[in-house]
Chains A and B, each alone.
Chain A
Amino acid sequence: MQFQYQIEGGNFSRAGFASSEIKKLMKQLNVDLSIVKRTVVATYEAEVNIVAHAYGGTIYVELDEEKIIIKLVDEGPGIPDIEQAMKEGYSTASSTVREMGFGAGMGLPNMKKNADDLKISSEVEKGTTVQITMYFKTEK
């Protein structure tokens, strides 16, 4: 199964819509609730990052019996130093975004904590691609 969602940069009133759709989809497919919960956290953070930092983007969802791959591709400023961006507390969010309670430098750490596999690639002044993979059969 494949789905895609368009994300508009700067439009906070729609932030979380795609994550909500992905959550509904996984629940319909009876994916283990603990996996749905982790997917929702990672996906929401990635979605909000597009809204907060990029001009726009697309979320591509690919799903089979074993896993879901959520690929978020944005057009935006990119991340010059991904290692630095991964650090808890580091943020480049605007003051407006921070006043809303976003931009605390917890987004990427939240993604890393919750995703089974997280890949980030970025090109400055072009955009960023985040790929979240969740496996339905827990190894634990």
Chain B
Amino acid sequence: MNVQQLIEKLELRVFGGEQGLQNTITGGYVSDLLSDVMGNSDTGQVWLTLQTHKNVMAIASLKDLAAIILVNNHKPDEDTLNQANEEGIPLLGTDMSTFEITGKLYELLK
């Protein structure tokens, strides 16, 4: 599945980073601790978090993640959004809680 298909299936909002909408999704990772994501996420995963600051983009880029989904109606900081566009990594959003979106994502990817 690619990011565009995921957006359609889960009705996600696209904040930025549209250049990466064709990125292939290999799995997901859910965490708000940046070192946890740094240490344990892997290439091609979608990252679910409530962190909205710019450093999430640095991590997504360094780890070659497929996309970021901000949960619970969180909005990205302006410099986060700029960075997403610069890096071409889709920055997405949902009103769903972490629990709900994770469950749905798991069903789609398992």
**Chain A, Cβ-Cβ closest to B53:** A100
User: What's the least CB distance linking A14 to chain B, in Å?
Assistant: 9
- Report which residue of A16, A37, A113 has the largest number of chain B beta carbons within 10 angstroms of its beta carbon: A16
Is there contact, CB below 8 Å, between A19 and B62? yes
Q: How large is the interface on A (under 10, 10 to 19, 20 to 34, 35 or more residues)?
A: 20 to 34
What's the dominant secondary structure at chain A's contact region? helix
User: What's the least CB distance linking B95 to chain A, in Å?
Assistant: 21
Q: Which of A16, A106, A113 contacts B58 (CB 8 A)?
A: A16
Question: Is A107 on the interface with B (CB-CB < 8 A)?
Answer: yes
Q: Which of B33, B35, B49, B53 contacts A45 (CB 8 A)?
A: B35
- Per-residue interface assignment for chain B, residues 52 to 63, with 1 indicating a CB less than 8 Å from any chain A CB and 0 otherwise: 011100110111
* Chain B residues within 8 Å of chain A by Cβ, number: 19
**Chain B, Cβ-Cβ closest to A19:** B62
Task: Tell me the chain A residues, 97-117 only, with Cβ under 8 Å from chain B.
Answer: 100-102, 104, 106-107, 109-110, 113-114
Is there contact, CB below 8 Å, between A12 and B61? no
Task: Tell me the chain B residues, 60-97 only, with Cβ under 8 Å from chain A.
Answer: 61-63, 79
**Chain A, Cβ-Cβ closest to B42:** A37
With known contacts A12-B53, A15-B55, A16-B55, A101–B34 Cβ distance under 8 A: yes
7 examples of A-B residue contacts, CB within 8 angstroms = A16-B58, A48-B34, A101-B34, A102-B34, A102-B35, A107-B35, A110-B39
Chain B: residues with CB nearer than 8 A to chain A?
32-36, 38-39, 43, 49, 51, 53-55, 58-59, 61-63, 79
